Structure 1
Amino acid sequence: MSETTLNILQYYGAGAALLAAFVVSLNLGTRCTGWAFVVFVTSSVALIAWGFLNDEGAGIGWQNIGLLGINLVGVYRYLIAGKPPQPES
């Protein structure tokens, strides 16, 4: 894998995660949060690829396998299953 491709994967993964976290922090509603989780999924996929294609990145790869699972739950919960239940006051 070329160094340029690895750099693209690394920096896309980091930038996409920052963007998604920012959108979630804005609390703009269910739909926006769901799409932020889609961006998190793309970030995780990029960082899994980077982690296992890079000689020193296996830890990041494994971490993002876990994060991918969490992010897929977010996509399901916010975009597929509908509005999440509200906690009781």
Structure 2
Amino acid sequence: MSESTLNILQYYGAGAALLAAFLVSLNLGERITGWAFVLFVTSSIALIAWGFLNDEGAGIGWQNVGLLIINVVGVYRHLIAPKNRKAHK
């Protein structure tokens, strides 16, 4: 894998995660939070790829496998099944 592709994956993953975390912290509502989780999903995918294609990034890759699962749950709860979430309050 080329060094420039690895850099794109690494910095996209980091930047997307920061933006997603900022959006979640603003608590702008169910839909915006759901789309922030979609952004987290893309970040996790980029960092999984970076982690396993990089000689020294397997730890970040595995961490993001776990985060991907968490982020998919966030997408489901906030975008796919928001009515079910409100019923449990």
Alignment TM-score, normalising by the size of structure 1: 0.94
Q: How does 1:9-88 map to 2 (within 5 A)?
A: 9-83=9-83, 84-85=85-86
Give unpaired runs (5+ residues) of structure 1. Answer: none
| Structure 1 partner of 2:8 | 8
- Tell me the secondary structure at the aligned position of residue 28 of structure 2: coil
Q: Point out the structure with the larger helix share.
A: 2
- Tell me the secondary structure at the aligned position of residue 13 of structure 1: helix
Q: Which runs of 4+ in 1 moved over 2 A?
A: 83-88
Cα deviation for residue 56 of structure 1 reads: 0.2
Give unpaired runs (5+ residues) of structure 2. Answer: none
- Give % identity: 82
Q: Look up the equivalent residue of 1:72 and give its one-letter code.
A: V
- Tell me the secondary structure at the aligned position of residue 82 of structure 2: coil
Q: Distance in 2 between matches of 1:14 and 1:86?
A: 34
Aligned residues: 88
Cα RMSD after superposing both structures: 1.2
